[in-house]
Structure 1
Amino acid sequence: MRRAGCILGLVFIAPAAQAATLTIRAEGVASAQGMIYAGICDTSFDERTCPYRDREAARLGTVELRIRNVKPGSYSIAVFHDTNGNGKLDRNILGLPSEPYGFSNDVGRRGPPNFDAARIVVREPSTTIVIPVR
């Protein structure tokens, strides 16, 4: 019985798995139509490389998305305002976004977003990032 108590004691003193809450403040939302989507990506802006995603109903002004249990580390974040509710970022005939969007560190305003320039660090217990949506 003493041995079981020792093992149980080790379980209780083992460190908790590292996890953080990431709060994304999408600022400048121009309407309450549709949804705000966010992808928290670790290797590229390809949606398949975004281990964390969230969405929230659009509201005029600022929309906060809270993603819990994010493994601390470096990520790049993409946000877009799906104004027509079709679940994707619409593009014009030239392939440019026709719905409001933004990236961490406000990259991608004058050309394709640079993934490395968009990197932010998520730390425990929480990290907040502001992303202008234009």
Structure 2
Amino acid sequence: MNHLRIYLSLIFVCFSLNASADGANGVSLTVKVEGVKSAKGNIRAALYADPKTFRKEAQAVAVIQTAASPGEVSLSWPDVKPGKYAVVVYHDEDANGELNRRFGMFPTEGYGLSNNPKVSGPPPFEPSAFEVSGATEIMVELHY
């Protein structure tokens, strides 16, 4: 009887470890950022699930950053729930935590959107939206 309890406890522990290792609530999302011009500052990425909050970083699902490095930089969220998302990436060269803009509208730091849509004016959510249903990797090109 005691062996049965130990065996069942081990099975429970194994299932618990597998659930947490696989991301109990979600999957990984990796963003490969291409075209970083310098090592100044950080590369920041904001993840959005709601078109109404798109481009409002304070209302993003999650924001991550890493040190800038010329060429390609990768950022990853390890636990994203399946669904429809859009990503905004920018090169925060002065490391102030925001995309600098001229006249409050025109980006003065490199930026990019998921799906790399061509836009003029404030970009909408839909052209940048993509589905996450399993481990996902996307590429975003920065424009300076």
Equivalent positions of 1:92-131 (< 5 A) are 92-93=102-103, 95-107=105-117, 109-124=119-134, 126-131=135-140
Equivalent positions of 1:33-112 (< 5 A) are 33-43=40-50, 44-45=53-54, 46-93=56-103, 95-107=105-117, 109-112=119-122
Deviates more, 1:84-93 or 1:61-70: 84-93
What value does the CA root-mean-square deviation take over the aligned residues?
Answer: 2.3
Q: Distance in 2 between matches of 1:106 and 1:31?
A: 20
Contact 1:42/1:49 (<8 A) preserved: no
Instruction: Work out the percentage of aligned pairs sharing the same amino acid.
Output: 36
Contact 1:75/1:120 (<8 A) preserved: yes
TM-score for both structures, normalised by structure 1: 0.83
Higher helix share: 2
Contact 1:90/1:97 (<8 A) preserved: yes
Aligned length: 129
Q: Distance in 2 between matches of 1:85 and 1:94?
A: 18
Q: Stretches of 4+ moved more than 6 A in 1? A: 8-15
Q: Following TM superposition, by how much is the alpha carbon of 1:13 offset from its aligned partner in structure 2, in angstroms?
A: 6.7
Structure 1's 52 and 87: CA in aligned 2 closer, same or farther, altered over 3 A?
Answer: same
TM-score for both structures, normalised by structure 2: 0.78
Name structure 1 gaps, 5 residues minimum: none
Q: Following TM superposition, by how much is the alpha carbon of 1:87 offset from its aligned partner in structure 2, in angstroms?
A: 1.5
Alignment deviations for residues 6-39 of structure 1 (CA, whole Å, 9 cap, x no partner): xx88897799434111000010000111000000
Name structure 2 gaps, 5 residues minimum: none
Q: Is the partner of 2:102 in helix, strand or coil? A: coil
